[in-house]
Amino acid sequence: MDERIRGLLVHPPGTETLTLTFNPAGRLQYYQALPGRPYTTLAGYGMSFTQEPGYYLESSNHWVKTTGEVTSHVLIVALLRFLQDNYMSNLVVHDPTGFWDNVDMTALTQEHIRMQALIDLFQESDLVQDLLGLVGIADLAMLTRVPRGDELN
């Protein structure tokens, strides 16, 4: 990765980190650190990595999960709107809650409650294991618990 990458990492309470980084040309770019140099496995299925540091996946798509943290969601939208209005007029935001477009607090709160309920449902590993069994892949799947939004900080 180029050492001239600039940007900011924002850590809103209870959410994942919002990463706003720019490449040397000034374009918004997301860099995901990889565990090493990627290569295709001998069988041609999947991908593996060498244990060499310094490899990154570049993407022009940024995202942040805010489920369960309505206040943080509102503040992130305010920050992005400020950036769009003052510095990045071509910034495009896709907000599946609809809050970016309609600024409806009731709808935002209801969507966060709905998504948190789905996440909570899948925290029950017995239920998930049963569902995987129904589709015939229970023996192939390894379950790892994902922390809830309020457990991130």
Tell whether 132 is covered by a domain.
yes
Indicate the number of domains in the chain: 1
Domain interval for residue 16? 6-36+50-141
Query: Is 62 domain-assigned?
Result: yes
pLDDT at 127 over 80: no
Q: Which residue has the higher pLDDT, 58 or 91?
A: 91
The answer to whether residue 113 sits within a structural domain is: yes
* Residue bearing the bigger pLDDT, 12 or 37: 12
Structural domain includes residue 27: yes
Q: Is residue 122 part of a domain?
A: yes
- Does some domain include residue 20? yes
Give the three-state DSSP class for 119: helix
**Residue 59 belongs to a domain:** yes
Classify residue 136: in a domain, yes or no. Answer: yes
Q: Which pTM value belongs to this model?
A: 0.66
Burial class (CB in 10 A: 0-12, 13-18, 19+), 55: middle
Distance CA 17, CA 113 (A): 21
